[in-house]
Structure 1
Amino acid sequence: MQSTAVNLTGKHLLTLFDYSVEEVTYLLSEAAKGKKMFQNGESSSVLKGKSLGMIFENASTRTRVSFEVGMTQLGGHALFLSPKDLQIGRGEPIKDTANVLSRYVDAIMIRTNSHQTVEELAAHSSVPVINALTDAYHPCQALADALTIQEKKGKLAGLSLVYVGDGNNVAHSLMAVGAKTGMNVTISSPNGYEVDPIILKHAQDAGKQTGAVISLQADPHLAAKGADIVYTDVWTSMGYENEQSKHIQDLQAYQVNDELMAAAHKQAIFMHCLPAHRDEEVTGSVIDGTQSVVYDQAENRLHVQKAILRSVIAHNGITFGGL
């Protein structure tokens, strides 16, 4: 089966805003096909002989395991690179690291604190760079979230997702994926924790193409009213650990609990990108309850990463269905 309409070979994935509606739809379709193959016991060695360099400036469970296992399942190899393994940790310019790694590997995945670092790496890399998390965006997580919602609800367009809590990188990427898929996204955060207004405007503009409404609502219970998906994240993002006590105090009214879930649609699902702090941003009764799909989200990171890797490294006009 040949597919020439979408070809992502060599394309960086820094933010979903850089991808068209068709390209986002394609990645989700490829992830779903790949997951079905995996569940059916089918395998693919499409990335045989290919290598992924994985740069981690901070700790990770789901990101490292999903990318590393994904490369292995596709026949390739992944290298874990911490700051102490690279000369970046000793002050080597990002430009030099990008140029050198491009001579060794077929793609570079990076999880870093600064989005500027990812942009600089991509600017000097001749192989695709994948943003596995920055302070501004978390596109791989948002794609896994969209795949999970699609599985649970049968669609994305027209659904309503409310994100409650700190307007962080996860919130930014949820707005982006909503805008690209026609899913309405409402962000509910207190003063001082709002999403970046420039990213909000970008999402609202992008949503005009699909009919997605991207909005803000400070009152979490009003925001959650009738929602199909209720989503939250930790109140203290990486890099802000010294402000943890203040964040807990400021965000107490934004906890996802049974009362807030009751305001949502009775068939609503609860989502969290993990790791979670029970009885801070979400109660145990919600995250461990029947409406929670957090482990499905985590599992889908693997299938989304595989779709991204296969698409940007070795597309060649072939879909998962034709492997």
Structure 2
Amino acid sequence: MTQTLKSSIRALSSNCARFSTAAGASKTASKARHLLSISSLSPAELGYLVDTAAHYRRLIKRDSFSTPSKQLPLLGHTIALLFSKRSTRTRVSSEVAINYFGGHPMFLGKEDIQLGVNESLYDSSRVISSMTSGIVARVGPHSDIVGLSAASSVPVINALCDTYHPLQAIADILTIKESFKTLPGLKLAWVGDANNVLNDLATACAMTGINVSVATPSAHPVDSSVFANVRETASVSGVTIEVGHDPLAAVKNADVIVTDTWVSMGQESEKQRRLQQFAGFQVTSKMASKGGAKDTWKFMHCLPRKPEEVSDEVFYSDKSLVFDEAENRLYAMLAALDGFVIKQGKLE
């Protein structure tokens, strides 16, 4: 073997070693910032996202979202939509928001890819993030969204997991702000199941000065670890957090009454038992009046809704904000894409 050939082989080996080291580092080092829950934000950052959502709502309502002088920031970019569960509001708001920014939404349902089935979350996340500019994920266990974000080289936005639902919370705070103008000092009463929507909404309320009173059936208590963090946030903002099992006590002096589905996707086999456990928790005008809610109280529900959760009288009344709330999911997604994909987590 000639000396020149030996030198070439040594140089090639050295380059391969450097490449291997760099690749190994990139496997674990991700500078992307992700939106996994409301608790991953500061109060100021949550306020920024709510205000940004309101800004986009105004632009779209005036039909002035884009102008000739403003380029579409996601033009030429693809955002992956990883959905392990079917969806209405999340899918529509995600695809529409990405299109508003000029991007291409790539929907990947559970029948389309190997996510967590024949391929690990880590492998899937590395592959998908290498070809896209962001990931919007609607998954099952919170560990799935954590796993995706840990391996992703691009921002991951949690569009729902079994523990958190940050986009819904942003939309809900926007909805309340639109109705009441100012947030500090309001009282929100949650009547129903202790779930992912409640977890992020309670955190968002604690950050924005809204007092919270929760009533759940005793068989479905709040997540103690989540509410420990909610109370810690509330202690800084001066917000009151009350947790119990009496709907009438919860709605006393409430400005907003909120509920959610009692039988979530995947819980269909438990329906009859859960309906028995939630007896007496249906939101009605009689409940609000008997419990002493304020005359100006409003109702919210993130949908889909079933009649046993709230009466038609309330759901379709002028007290109901549910359809504004649903529409605000679009503006919440626009704000999330703006803050985490376009501005790379620099929420200012």
- Among 140, 146, 161, the alignment partner of 1:119 is 146
The alignment partner of 1:216 has SS state of strand
8 Å CA contact 2:33, 2:345 repeated in 1: no
Deviation at 1:238, TM superposition (A): 1.9
Output aligned runs, 1:1-80, within 5 Å.
Answer: 10-44=32-66, 45-80=72-107
Deviation at 1:164, TM superposition (A): 0.3
Deviation at 1:89, TM superposition (A): 5.8
Deviation at 1:51, TM superposition (A): 1.6
What residue in structure 2 maps to residue 315 of structure 1? 343
Task: Tell me if 1:108 matches 2:130.
Answer: no
8 Å CA contact 1:53, 1:81 repeated in 2: yes
Output aligned runs, 1:230-241, within 5 Å.
Answer: 230-241=257-268
- Among 279, 295, 298, the alignment partner of 1:269 is 298
In percent, how many aligned pairs have the same letter? 39
What residue in structure 2 maps to residue 6 of structure 1? none
Of 83-92 and 179-188, more deviation after overlay is shown by 83-92
Extract unaligned runs of 5+ from structure 1. 1-8
Deviation at 1:142, TM superposition (A): 0.8
Deviation at 1:179, TM superposition (A): 1.5
Shift in alpha-carbon separation, 1:252–1:316, aligned structure 2, 3 A? closer
**Number of equivalenced pairs:** 311
- Measured on the aligned residues, the alpha-carbon RMSD in Å equals 1.7
CA distance in 2: counterparts of 1:34 and 1:46, whole angstroms: 14
What residue in structure 2 maps to residue 306 of structure 1? 334
8 Å CA contact 1:128, 1:313 repeated in 2: yes
Cα deviation code 1:10-33 (max 9, x no counterpart): 421111101001100100111111
Question: Stretches of 4+ moved more than 3 A in 1?
Answer: 316-320
CA distance in 2: counterparts of 1:51 and 1:211, whole angstroms: 42
8 Å CA contact 2:38, 2:46 repeated in 1: yes
Structure-1-length-normalised TM-score: 0.93
What residue in structure 2 maps to residue 3 of structure 1? none
Shift in alpha-carbon separation, 1:136–1:318, aligned structure 2, 3 A? closer
Cα deviation code 1:14-67 (max 9, x no counterpart): 111010011001001111111111111112322222221001111100000001
CA distance in 2: counterparts of 1:317 and 1:273, whole angstroms: 26
Partner amino acid for 2:235? Answer: K
Partner amino acid for 1:309? Answer: L
Of 81-90 and 311-320, more deviation after overlay is shown by 311-320
8 Å CA contact 1:30, 1:319 repeated in 2: no
Partner amino acid for 1:272? Answer: H
What residue in structure 2 maps to residue 166 of structure 1? 193
CA distance in 2: counterparts of 1:129 and 1:186, whole angstroms: 31
CA distance in 1: counterparts of 2:113 and 2:84, whole angstroms: 10
What residue in structure 2 maps to residue 200 of structure 1? 227
Output aligned runs, 1:183-194, within 5 Å.
Answer: 183-194=210-221
Which has the higher relative contact order, 1 or 2, with Cα contacts under 8 A spaced 6 or more apart?
1
What residue in structure 1 maps to residue 121 of structure 2? 94
CA distance in 1: counterparts of 2:77 and 2:335, whole angstroms: 15
Partner amino acid for 2:108? Answer: L
What residue in structure 2 maps to residue 244 of structure 1? 271
What residue in structure 2 maps to residue 5 of structure 1? none
Cα deviation code 1:80-116 (max 9, x no counterpart): 1011111226420000011111111111011111111
